[in-house]
Structure 1
């Protein structure tokens, strides 16, 4: 840690950001698949989609609508990724994977409550 007047700068440990980003993109793929599968299992069991945008896409276009929404989210991330310094690029897949991973756990919990 170093201090420059009123600002404090923390020295971050050396992290292989390329490897971290690669691992996070794998998590994005797994969480996307998990979210889609658990969503459709839940819908088949009579549960409802709580996200109004996703609900509309699913009601109008089914699985294709859900996949298009996911593809749009990934597309936005891929377009914004080059705008970030390399050290901060892992935040893009982390920002995609985190809510989808949480959704998987919520979906699994809701599905478990139907039995």
Structure 2
């Protein structure tokens, strides 16, 4: 997995250099908030591969909160997303069993 991240960062560096050489038009939005957003997307996909749906959903909701706070994607405030994330996390905790606790019982 670290090789994928390494190749991704090298690819991003090459893309930045190519864009600066070719003089593409400037992007009118801030790109720095995309880095933590990409990190939470990575965590979401990684947890989905591990079939840890609760962690995956929480990571996706945190990424959505960051994107909504900065880019105003949804017409609802971030506080509503925080409450929804807590409720979804608690709901999934009741619906999906925790396999670690079941192994310790036996």
TM-score class, shorter = 0.3 to 0.5
Q: Which has the higher strand share?
A: 1
Structure ranking higher on relative contact order (CA contacts 8 Å, 6+ apart): 1
- TM-score scaled by structure 1? 0.30
